[in-house]
Structure 1
Amino acid sequence: MPFGLTNAPATFQELINNVLRAHLDIFIIAYLDDILVYSETLEDHVEHVKTVLRALKQFNLRLKPE
């Protein structure tokens, strides 16, 4: 990590927690740059992923799938 960015992971974690707060521990677990979406059915999972994508878009955040 470059010098001067020592608090970046904690700041980013706080941002993600604020963006996804309504859904954390219901169907989302967020840890640093990972967002885990879990569901009992495929239909629920599709809706949960859409919900996460909408929330991220609302705050102008983008994903880089790997």
Structure 2
Amino acid sequence: MSESTCPICHRPTDPQFRPFCSRHCADVDLGRWFNGSYRVPSFRQDNDEEQNEYHDGEG
């Protein structure tokens, strides 16, 4: 079985901070989510009918 590596610095992971090697790398990853570096893809468009109905209070 191969050893897992930290997705930030590629060092071996620490079970306490898995999948990271340290609190620092976990915080770096969290910061990337907060500043928008990571994004979850969305296939909805701003002009989707269903979404507009919901925001107009009709849904």
Which TM-score applies when normalising by structure 2?
A: 0.28
More helix by percentage: 1
Which TM-score applies when normalising by structure 1?
A: 0.26
More strand by percentage: 1
Higher relative contact order by CA 8 Å / sep ≥ 6: 1 or 2? 1
